[in-house]
A and B are shown apart, each in its own frame.
Chain A
Amino acid sequence: MGASEWRLIGNLADIPRSGARRVRIGEVEVGVFRTANDQLFALEDVCPHLGGPLSEGIVHGNSVTCPLHNLVIDLESGQSVDPEPKCVRSCMIRLEGDQIYLSDADLRELATKQLS
């Protein structure tokens, strides 16, 4: 794993179980979610409905419910559950020991898309 491909963002212990934290990169915020059984997911922190901050929602199972209007997003696919699926962009994430890394390429894509 080369340092240029993955970027260290913090430790597992920094995120509460069934909770989330934000990572800021330029103007873009990425939500990093930790489920009850310690799975990790990273999604752009913008609800596809009206832009609510997903990282502030309640995490249940592998889903998060947006705090503004209760749209439920599947963390694995980034898709909303119903009725017409909308998608949040995601970012590859990996855990090495207790350190969390995000994919540099994905972050780059999120950041540049937001800029354009």
Chain B
Amino acid sequence: MKQKLVVIGNGMTPGRALERIFDADPDAYDVTIFNAEPRVNYDRIMLSPLLSGEKTYEEIIIHGDGWYIDRGIMLYKGFKVDRIDRRARIVYSGDDESAKYDKLLIATGSNPIVIPVPGHDKQGVVTYRDYDDVEAMLWATQRGQSAVVIGGGLLGLEAAAGLAMQGMKVTVVHLMPTLMERQLDPAAGHLLQKAVEDRGITVLTEANTKEILGGPSVEGVLLDDGTELAADLVVMAVGIRPSVNVAQEAGLEINRGVVVDNRMRTSDPNILAVGECAEFENDVYGLVAPLYQMANVAAETLLGDRTGKPFEKQVLATQLKVTGIDLYSAGDFEGGDDREEIVLRDARRSIYRRLVIAENKLIGTVLYGDTANNSWYLQLIRSGDDISDFRDTMMFGPGYADGQSADVAVASLPDEVEICGCNGVCKGTIVSAINEHDLSTVDEVRTYTKASSSCGTCTGLVEQLLTLTLGDDYKPKAAGAVCACTDLGHDDVRRLIEVQRLQSIPDVMQSLHWKSSEGCAKCRPALNYYLLSTWPGIYKDDQQSRFINERVHANIQKDGTYSVVPRMWGGVTSADELRAIADVVDKFEIPTVKLTGGQRIDMLGVRKEDLPAVWADLGDAGLVSGHAYGKALRTVKTCVGTEWCRFGTQDSTGLGVRIEKFMWSCWTPAKVKMAVSGCPRNCAEATCKDVGVVCVESGYEVHIGGGSGLTVRQTELLSKVASEDEVMEIVAAVVQLYRLQGHYLERMYKWLVRVGIESIKEAVVDDSKRRKELYDGFVHSQSFSQRNPWSERVNGVDAHEFQPLAELDLVEVV
């Protein structure tokens, strides 16, 4: 019978241990996981990019639900274990859930430290530890303006940078005279402080928090010196401590963490511990590389495999994850009488390097501004090699150690140097994977070796290895470029199309030095849109540069059939329309009819060759294309408003129909969904749409930039106006501005975050001349664009698209 393994905690470390166990022997254990967080295993290193908006939650999931299902793992989400009965070998979560174990793996992680100042339990005081904290912070960015971050260490600065990128006014309160004083000497601390302040963040040093002010919710922070700071959000980022309660109550040996031996066993041989809660030889680890090492050792122990290396004390390295600020430290970088230091400081270039040496060995380093040589230094610290021979050039990197030039730095690294600390991948492994599998991109290296797939800070080194191995064949993708065909970003391409008056795709590719002769499936649709929106009436739409859905005006489904959605203006329909739809469904044997979220009807499973006939029949009843397939205006959802509703303040249905009839069939960077609600009860859910109008007694609120897909985001108020005509003008103007500024496939809310609501207000609210220009531009574009593509197709435009070129008789062949 299979042994039972119970895991408490579902972070990255137990996740890696389980991966190893299932890779080696899928039948070794029946696994049950209790996770106090109500979710799957995600990449905690990526919380800062999540907070800043550079990543989404989906992008940082390591194991999706399917991973657990495929392995038969029982995952309790949101269940905290509160008792371990070691004699009966059962863990309990509350009164209702329990699980029996043969082996138990404790991975409870750590808890953030909350300073017990008065007011620390007010609403709006959060720590920075898990996804819930990030959600709380993001929620706060929606409603408040200012945030105070207590703690100017690694986590505090990452939180501050993320909140600033979300548009908050952020103050960092730090107890010591300079930031990150453990890693940086005062001069370097000032370099860092300046870089942080350049991001619009205020830094207060030597500042001690006395009290957190406010009612039930936080309103401010009072410092020892009497300073009061306004705050809608307070983030405490002052440190963490191992979470050991449940292990302690079970009577396991505890020091700071749960004490483990070099095979990750606790004082009970049936119980192992890994991760931030585990203590090995008086050290507790908090970084992913040593924790993954623990995971590997624990997996081997659980599999009864004693061939692997036991766990050893690790040299630690850490990196600040704030985009644009590079800070790296490794090993023991504290000063001391027995230590020598070599320091390079270049304030103008914002570069700082410190090497700490003891007994002719490198024991620690701090690098700021330029961290390119970090893996070489880490390797020297780990190996403990005598550095006397190259001590005088060591500061400049490995290239100089043998009298070579700097650009061969990576070349001179030995094969066993670890490039990716997170996943333990050495240079040799990467180089041989590049050669054996003909890899040519960083993504491919990630697929094959896992290098650079966790925190990504070694991406530069992986790129250097690609350059080194492939020579000129390796073409790195420039940051923010439209695609691999060009180094230019979306904004540059848009601008150059306009100023150089480029009016066709070949023109753009020629003038802007495209690297591929005909582009690719990424840039061609983007260019087609940019040309279409910049030159309405002049540019001829290139059908071959559109995705199939837009080419055939229907949505391709996974089996190659299509779905058809006719427009229902404002979600209003009639008996005639419904009858026509019913007839079409019968006539063409359409298998599924479904109501969509946008108040209309979807017919799914239509054969491609039937599409023109389906459209013809729908067209006879007056139904036109709903553009459910396009980067275009989708729906305008409405509630019934004053016509029927006792709460209605305006004719929301009528206004929705008017907007949709005015704006349908315009192309946009990404899909645009709208809604009109008849009162602030908001039954049409207007405040999570790209454009939402909320009617009130005195007029109309126009909101923009909501979303309820991958990202759920509330709209921001653009303006309040008194009449329907003003609504029409402002909505058309803001959509036109988005049409001209948006990057292809960039939803309206992402555009809003990128350019800022203020710049949008300036153009379409404050400046009536500019608003009129935008409105007129939209109307001009609609004069070419507003037509029913279905009827054109019914009338024979590109009819070939729907029929096979030839049907050959099988009998002749066989």
Contacts and interface: CB of A to CB of B under 8 A. Distances in A.
Interface of A: 7-10, 14-19, 21-26, 29, 32, 36, 50-53, 56-61, 63, 65, 67-68, 70, 72, 82-83, 104, 107-108, 111-112
A23 B548 contact: no
Instruction: List the 10 shortest-distance A-B pairs measured between CB atoms, nearest first.
Output: A26-B810, A65-B521, A21-B805, A56-B548, A9-B806, A18-B544, A58-B521, A25-B808, A67-B548, A83-B447
Contacts of A10: 805-806
A14 B800 contact: yes
Given A50-B558, A68-B558, A58 B525 contact: yes
B519 interface: yes
Nearest to A82: B444
Given A65-B520, A70-B521, A59 B544 contact: yes
19 contacts: A9-B805, A21-B800, A21-B804, A23-B804, A23-B808, A25-B813, A36-B517, A36-B518, A56-B548, A58-B521, A58-B544, A61-B516, A61-B517, A61-B520, A65-B520, A67-B556, A72-B521, A82-B444, A111-B810
B560 interface: yes
B554 to A, nearest CB: 11
B543 interface: yes
A108 to B, nearest CB: 5
B544 A107 contact: no
A60 B516 contact: yes
B520 A112 contact: no
B453 to A, nearest CB: 13
Nearest to A8: B806
B814 A112 contact: yes
B521 A56 contact: no
Contacts of A14: 800, 805
Contacts of A83: 437, 439, 443-444, 447-448
B807 interface: yes
Given A16-B544, A17-B544, A52-B560, A32 B805 contact: yes
A32 B814 CA distance: 21
Contacts of A17: 544
Contacts of A7: 808
Contacts of A29: 804
A53 to B, nearest CB: 5
A42 B520 CA distance: 20
A23 B809 CA distance: 11
Chain A interface, DSSP helix/strand/loop, else mixed: mixed
A18 B810 CA distance: 29
A18 B518 contact: yes
Given A21-B804, A82-B444, A58 B545 contact: yes
B547 interface: yes
A24 B807 contact: yes
Contacts of A61: 516-518, 520
Contacts of B444: 82-83
The CB with the most chain A CB atoms within 10 A, among B549, B558, B806, is that of B806
B353 interface: no
Given A22-B804, A58-B521, A82-B441, 16 more contacts: A9-B806, A14-B805, A21-B800, A24-B804, A24-B806, A24-B808, A25-B810, A25-B813, A26-B813, A56-B552, A58-B547, A63-B520, A65-B521, A67-B556, A83-B447, A83-B448
A112 B548 CA distance: 29
Interface residues of B, number: 36
B551 to A, nearest CB: 8
B813 A107 contact: yes
B631 interface: no
Contacts of B747: none
Contacts of A65: 520-521
Contacts of B807: 23-25
A30 B518 CA distance: 24
A7 B806 CA distance: 10
A72 to B, nearest CB: 7
A111 B804 contact: no
Given A18-B544, A82-B441, A60 B521 contact: yes
Contacts of A111: 810, 813-814
A29 to B, nearest CB: 8
B739 interface: no
Contacts of B447: 83
Interface string B513-528: 0001111110011000
Given A61-B518, A72-B521, A19 B805 contact: no
Interface in B774-814: 800, 804-808, 810, 813-814
B56 to A, nearest CB: 19
A23 B813 contact: no
Interface in B529-585: 543-549, 551-552, 556, 558, 560
A67 B804 CA distance: 18
Nearest to A67: B548
A83 to B, nearest CB: 5
Contacts of B520: 60-61, 63, 65, 72
A7 B549 CA distance: 31
B524 A60 contact: yes
The CB with the most chain A CB atoms within 10 A, among B520, B544, B547, is that of B544
B61 to A, nearest CB: 18
Interface in B431-455: 437, 439, 441, 443-444, 447-448
B806 A23 contact: yes
Nearest to A27: B810
A102 B525 CA distance: 31
A23 B560 contact: no
Contacts of A112: 814
B521 A22 contact: no
A66 to B, nearest CB: 9
A105 B730 CA distance: 63
B544 A57 contact: no
A26 B812 CA distance: 10
B548 to A, nearest CB: 4
A32 to B, nearest CB: 6
Interface in B726-740: none
Contacts of A32: 805
Nearest to B546: A58
A104 to B, nearest CB: 7
Contacts of A16: 543-544
A80 to B, nearest CB: 13
A68 B813 CA distance: 31
Contacts of B810: 25-26, 111
Contact of A67 (B543, B547, B800): B547
Contact of B560 (A26, A53, A58): A53
Nearest to B549: A67
Nearest to B556: A67
